[in-house]
Amino acid sequence: MAALLFPTVRAVAYAPLRELILPPPAAVTITLLYSTEKEAWLKEVIPQFESSGATVDGHPLKIQLEAMGSWEINEAVLSGTRKPVMVSPASALQIAALQDASTAQFGKGLVNPADIASCRSVLKTPLVLVAWKERADVLWGQQPSASLWRNIHDALVNPQGWATYNHPDWGYIKFGHTDPLKSNSGFMTILLMTYGYHDKTSNLTTSDILKDNDFQKWFLETEMSIGQFENSTGPLMQKMISYGPSTFDFVAVYEATAIEQSDNAVGRYGELRVYYPPALLWSDHPFCVLNADWVTPQETQAARLFIDYLTSQPAQNLALQKYGFRPVEPTIKLEQPGSPFDRYAANGFKADISSLPEVEIPAGNVLNTLRDFWARNVTR
């Protein structure tokens, strides 16, 4: 009540006096559940936003962060253990799943991707494969073919391993991705694999997953060849570099994660290179205001201002230059001198990947079916 009252009094008070005689206005706090891939960028940008002078009805704005796994965000909101103003998982996959699940549970979607003022992508980075060049050259050459995922399966299950390719000293073929139940990049990997098996980029259905025995066998053979699933993408990439080719021949991670670790890989175990899969899937970091009764109109307005700030040029430029994300702000050029796409071009990073098709984000029930299938059959 006081918070609502004071701005009115403030508005009529004599300006030089009001700062002295009245208490500072209460801030509108935007609680945000977010996935950790963008943490360093957010923690750099938020203080700038808070001190930028942005207000709603004269109230300053404050962001209160809580880090979570992308799927954990959905679980926390659906179970009611958290009531945030805003969520930002790593990808639109979780937003689609949340819309589907909340509609089923509450009769209305808690998020609305169609309303771009309150729910839109802020940063982009595609899922890529990072491989030791010497080994990738043998396995798929300069660029993986359209049948990459099928070829990977065949290589992984081949009992002769690298001996088939005249390299018995490299042992069996080792692939790594994160745990799809805990980490978005792991889920993106199994979704791309599933599309890859069915040789399509859209119209994935639950039948493709549940009623195709050959797919299930193929999928589980691939997954069972993976020794351990890391909980998140950063540590997986770090292991790729620390342990070298002995432990992973190639891993599936975000392009931005690969950029972040590029310098560390130099002079260690040979050349590390990034490869784009034949069809892309983006981690697009949507920021979505919840359409929930616990979110006030003031908070919604404040959250929209925050999204605008995140998509402004300075914040977007920082995300590119320092953290290797692709901006959504179209005027920023990726290949500008000094950008990661300029500095690491020799490692296979490409600014222009528009020639590669993108896979369609399936309906929420398809995503949840794939998660459940993995959980039932692969978790150890």
Partner 1 sequence: MKNCFHTFLSVFAILSMLLSACGQIQSVIPGGTVTISIVYGSEKQQWLDPLVKQFNDANNKTPGGKVIVVQATAMGSIESVRGIMDGSLQPTVWSPASSIYIPVANAEWKKTHPDDLVTGTPKDLVLSPVVIAMWRPMAQALGWPGKALGWADIAQLATSADGWKAYNHPEWGQFKFGHTHPAYSNSGIVSIIAEAYAGLKKQRGLTVADLQAPELMKFMSDVESSVIHYGTSTGFFAERMFGNGPSYLSAAVMYENLIVAQETKRIDGQSTQIPVVAIYPKEGTFWSNHPYVVLNAPWVTADQKEAAGVFQNFLLDKPQQLKALELGFRPSDPSIPLSSPLDSQHGADPSQPQTILEIPSASVIDGIQNLWKQAKKPVDLIVVMDISGSMGGDKITTARSSLMSFVQKLDDRDRLEIDLFSSDISILTPLTEVGAKRQQVLDSVSGIFEGGDTRLYDATLQAYENLQKNGNPKHIRAVVVLTDGQDTASTNTLDAINTQINAASGEGGNAIKIFTIAFGDGADKDVLKKIAEPTGGKEYDSSPANIQKIYDDIATFF
Name which of 13 and 226 has its Cβ closer to partner 1: 226
Q: Which residue has the tokens 């958290």?
A: 82
- Would the CA dihedral through 234, 236, 241, 243 be positive or negative? positive
Closest approach, Cβ 265 to partner 1, in A, equals 8
Name which of 124 and 273 has its Cβ closer to partner 1: 273
Closest approach, Cβ 81 to partner 1, in A, equals 19
Closest approach, Cβ 168 to partner 1, in A, equals 8
CA distance linking residue 50 with residue 63, whole number of Å: 8
Residues written for the chain: 380
130 DSSP β-pair partners: 251, 274
Record the tokens describing residue 377, joined without a space: 């059959």
Using CB under 8 A, list all residues that contact partner 1.
159, 161-162, 169-172, 174, 227-228, 230-231, 235, 238, 241-247, 261, 263-265, 267-270
Name which of 112 and 158 has its Cβ closer to partner 1: 158
Record the tokens describing residue 291, joined without a space: 């359409």
Record the tokens describing residue 74, joined without a space: 């959905």
Closest approach, Cβ 278 to partner 1, in A, equals 27
Please spell the DSSP secondary structure of 81-110, one letter per residue.
Answer: S---SEEE-SSHHHHHHHHHHHHHHHSS-S
CA distance linking residue 379 with residue 367, whole number of Å: 17
Name which of 58 and 168 has its Cβ closer to partner 1: 168
Name which of 141 and 171 has its Cβ closer to partner 1: 171
Closest approach, Cβ 88 to partner 1, in A, equals 23
Closest approach, Cβ 132 to partner 1, in A, equals 10
Q: What pairing do the DSSP bridges indicate for beta strands 282-283 and 86-88? A: unpaired
Name which of 208 and 230 has its Cβ closer to partner 1: 230
